[in-house]
Amino acid sequence: MSILVDKKTRLLVQGITGREGFFHATQMMEYGTQIVAGVTPGKGGEWVLDGKIPVFDTVVGAAETTGANCSVIFVPARFAADAILEAADGGIPLIVCITEGVPVQDMMQARSHITQHGSRLIGPNCPGVLTPGASKVGIIPGNIAIPGSIGVVSRSGTLTYEVLYALQRKELGVSTCVGIGGDPINGTSFLDVLAMFEDDPHTDQVVLIGEIGGTDEERAAEFIADHMTKPVAAFVAGMTAPADKRMGHAGAIVEGGSGLAADKIAALKSAGVRVAEHPDLIPEVVA
């Protein structure tokens, strides 16, 4: 089965008439995701995707008309925080923001706002959520994973794809893959997703993909040691990263001796996590 998204997910796409939004909406619909609406201010009343999907001016109008319960955001960075706020105000319980480069101050305000409204945000700067065989919300390629019982949570988009494909090659299936994004301020943490997988009866074990910067992996290690009963495997990128350089995501930077990959790996191992030296070795560690 899954966490977060499944065949019952009714998705609206904010920014559906833009190039990225239209392209990925097409991919999601072809995968089988139940897209029910698009939102682009000023283009309400239009229809897209071969006339199958109505476009609304507002999230409130789209949600009230179609019963959407999830939104994915493909809008420019300067508008992304407002799109998140609009989705929360529109009563959308799950919001997935793909947009990269959202200002930190904007995200601080947006995160506070959505918490008060009871919505969950995945991202920003993330690849989204994939439940193989059921629903794809975001940009994770649907053909690199098969249904199964391994939960995957990751800060890195590209490494997510590599690990999913490595698991698929060994015929190891995935319950749900959640890309939480690597920005300093995001809506959902490793801890949140680990707790969901721990409670999910259809997930038997978990793969965590981390990277340098911040202390998220260390906090995840503490949670795993104290609360997880299911086995966890991990890979942490950045062992050879130079100090004081941002590597990939905005949050992937080592400063003042903190955020080192070696420290994260040590913390995970001390919590009983099996850590792979290379993403291609994750299937061996899992098996």
Q: Known catalytic residues?
A: 249
How many Cβ atoms are within 10 Å of 31's Cβ, its own excluded?
Answer: 18
Whether 211 and 190 have beta carbons less than 8 Å apart is answered as no
Q: Which two tokens stand for residue 154?
A: 């990751």
Whether 159 and 205 have beta carbons less than 8 Å apart is answered as no
d(CA 70, CA 92): 6
Q: Which two tokens stand for residue 242?
A: 């130079």
How many Cβ atoms are within 10 Å of 147's Cβ, its own excluded?
Answer: 15
85 contacts: CB under 8 Å, gap ≥ 6: 110, 113, 114
Q: In the chain, where does DSSP find H-type helix?
A: 19-31, 59-66, 77-89, 104-117, 157-169, 190-199, 216-227, 261-270, 282-286
**N-terminal to C-terminal alpha carbon distance within the chain:** 20
Q: If you count DSSP H runs as helices and E runs as strands, how many of each does the chain have, helices first?
A: 9, 14
C-alpha 161 chain-centroid distance: 12
Q: By C-alpha distance, which of 25, 27, 26, 65 is closest to 45?
A: 65
Which neighbouring-strand residues pair with 135? 131
53 contacts: CB under 8 Å, gap ≥ 6: 13, 16, 25, 29, 35, 36, 37, 38, 47
Main-chain phi, psi angles of 10, to 5 degrees: -110, 105
